């Protein structure tokens, strides 16, 4: 069955520290991969996406993610976290050319001063 | 401003009383979708529409109906709401042209069914 797993329900990091949010997926073929961010009381905003090619993709707000086919992972990273990054982060997969999207359960990021 | 709007933003209702949550987008997107968000479960897709008059079930369609009579609107209908439909609902849209696949989300509708 197709699924997305985000192992960490919540993570706390200090402002200025590096961040890595984990995402593993189960899919029949290489899917399209996405990371979305949801700020409190807001809808979701796309941070970055991977379709093919270079396995390290850059997104908005200084985020990047690396696709590792052998590990079925698409982890999100940021070298230096800002207090405004506190939000919930969702990893998602979709079939190339398809219309369904499967989201992970989300990881809530807390940033401490 | 390009946006997806949902109404109402908050709704409290009673079991069995039919309700409709509206969704409208001004980006001329062909694709629209409804999700529900529940703690620990993330977003789950309810229904989606590839274009006018073309809809299909997502992963959790039971208890919901949709229609797509106009390109810009995609209402979600709960004919007989039950407490297990208490949730946060999001509408999203995207173009089906090009290679974007980026979905634009509305602000959400928080529904409570008592």
Record the tokens describing residue B100, joined without a space. Answer: 């974007």
**pLDDT score for B88:** 96
> What are the chain B neighbours of A46 within 8 Å (beta carbons)?
102-103
Give per-residue pLDDT as tens, A61-74.
Answer: 999 999 999 999 99
Contacts of residue A64, Cβ cutoff 8 Å, sequence gap at least 6: A48, A56, A57, A58, A76, A77, A78
Report whether pLDDT(A104) > 90: yes
**Which of A51-55, A81-85, B2-6, B107-111 is predicted least confidently?**
A51-55
What pairs with residue A13 in β-bridges? A111
**Which residues on A lie below 8 Å from B105 (Cβ)?**
43-45
| For residue A70, cis peptide bond before it (omega within 30 degrees of 0) | no
Cβ of A49 within 8 Å of Cβ of B102? The answer is: yes
Query: Residue B90 burial (CB < 10 Å; 0-12/13-18/19+)?
Result: buried
Q: How far apart are CA A91 and CA A59, in angstroms?
A: 13
* Contact state of A101 with B45 under an 8 Å Cβ cutoff: yes
CA A89 centroid distance within chain: 6
């Amino acid at each position: 069955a197709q699924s997305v797993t985000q192992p960490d329900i919540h993570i706390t990091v200090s402002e200025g520290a590096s961040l890595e949010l984990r995402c593993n997926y189960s899919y029949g073929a290489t899917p399209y991969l996405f990371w979305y961010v949801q700020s409190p009381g807001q809808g979701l905003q796309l941070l970055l996406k991977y379709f093919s090619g270079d396995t390290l993709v850059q997104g908005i707000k200084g985020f990047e993610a690396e696709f590792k086919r052998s590990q079925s992972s698409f982890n999100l990273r940021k070298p230096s976290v800002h207090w405004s990054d506190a939000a919930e982060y969702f990893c998602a997969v979709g079939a190339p050319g398809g219309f369904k999207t499967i989201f992970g359960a989300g990881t809530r990021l807390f940033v401490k001063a | 401003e390009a946006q997806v709007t949902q109404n109402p933003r908050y709704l409290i209702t009673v079991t069995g009383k039919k309700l409709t949550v509206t969704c409208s987008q001004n980006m001329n997107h062909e694709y629209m979708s409804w999700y529900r968000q529940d703690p620990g479960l993330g977003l789950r897709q309810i229904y989606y529409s590839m274009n006018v008059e073309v809809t299909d079930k997502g992963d959790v369609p039971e208890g919901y109906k949709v229609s797509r009579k106009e390109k810009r609107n995609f209402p979600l209908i709960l004919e007989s709401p039950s407490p297990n439909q208490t949730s946060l609902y999001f509408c999203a849209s995207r173009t089906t042209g090009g290679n974007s696949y980026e979905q634009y989300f509305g602000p959400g509708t928080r529904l409570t069914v008592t």
